[in-house]
Structure 1
Amino acid sequence: MKQVADLMIKNVITLKENDSLATAKTLMHDKNIRNIPIVNDNGECVGMLTQREYLRHAFYLVSQFGTQQITKKEEQTPISKAMSKDILTIEPDIDLSTAAEFFIENKYGCLPVVENDKLVGILTPVDFVKLAHAMLIKTE
């Protein structure tokens, strides 16, 4: 295991820009995830919706419309209003140590993995913790 491709999650849960914040909220809750790559019809990663960005937009909606309207407003709000479009991606053939350094220095919650402009996976710090745990168990 030396490359991002060896550690990344390959079966990535994604949404589209026009999906609602309500859909994202449900998906994050049901799948226990904090980061959702946003893809276009060609499978290209065009953004990222993190739990933090979702919450920031949800608080904005509450401040504008009150708690009584939050569910309705989340259903009406496309992800494109809350997602980050300025994202960094990584390629699957990058060395894992390089990816680890990136997480250490930048404190990102995830990195979309792209190949030929298509989303092929996602890498998170939790993946590195799982790897470290497996290595610790193996050496005991």
Structure 2
Amino acid sequence: MYRVADFMTIDPICLQDTNSLFKGRTTMKKYAVRHLPVLNNDNGNFAGILTQKAVLSNAIAIINEKGLDQLEEQEKGQSVAEVMDTDVITVAPETPLIDAAKFFKENRHGCIAVVDELKVVGVLTSGDFVKFAIKVLDQ
């Protein structure tokens, strides 16, 4: 039986909840990712997920209210904690892959944080399932 650990991205790029939203947006761009796990700055435990959707929504609100020329400055004044999604499901590395697949289908999320004892050990994305499908179909 396949497990989440068999397909997850290990040691993902993470942010601290105290990082600026500007750092979050630029990190996503630099590494071409749409989801970043966020860690509690005090204890390093999983705190939430910063999604590209939340970052873009926030950026549009800033641009509409203050103008494009104020985007960077406003984002530097906001913490990741203000925008991240904290109402997220996590899975353990040993979770059966079929359970994670059902979660993706039912919830239409693009990423699940893989957590072991409150510490982020990986992420599983919908893209990982595409890679898996290609591998299976290619055999």
1:37 is paired with a residue whose SS is: strand
Structure 1: which 4+ aligned runs deviate by more than 6 Å? none
Aligned to 1:114: 115
Aligned to 1:15: 15
Q: Please show how residues 20-35 of structure 1 align to structure 2 within 5 Å.
A: 20-35=20-35
1:108 is paired with a residue whose SS is: coil
User: Deviations along 1:35-77, whole A, 9 cap, x unmatched?
Assistant: 0010024331101110000011111212222222111111121
Q: CA deviation at 1:89?
A: 0.6
Aligned to 2:47: 46
TM-score, normalised with respect to structure 2: 0.93
Tell me how far apart the structure 2 counterparts of residues 106 and 85 of structure 1 sit (CA, whole Å): 15
Q: Which runs of 5+ in 1 are unaligned?
A: none
Q: Which runs of 5+ in 2 are unaligned?
A: none
Equivalenced residues, count: 138
Aligned to 2:76: 75
Percent of counterpart pairs with the same letter?
37
User: Deviations along 1:104-129, whole A, 9 cap, x unmatched?
Assistant: 11111100011111111110110011
Tell me how far apart the structure 2 counterparts of residues 85 and 12 of structure 1 sit (CA, whole Å): 18
CA-atom RMSD in angstroms: 1.2
1:54 is paired with a residue whose SS is: helix
TM-score, normalised with respect to structure 1: 0.93
Aligned to 2:97: 96
**Which residue identity lines up with residue 2 of structure 1 in the other structure?**
Y
Q: Which moved more, 1:108-117 or 1:61-70?
A: 61-70
Which one has a larger percent strand, Structure 1 or Structure 2? 2
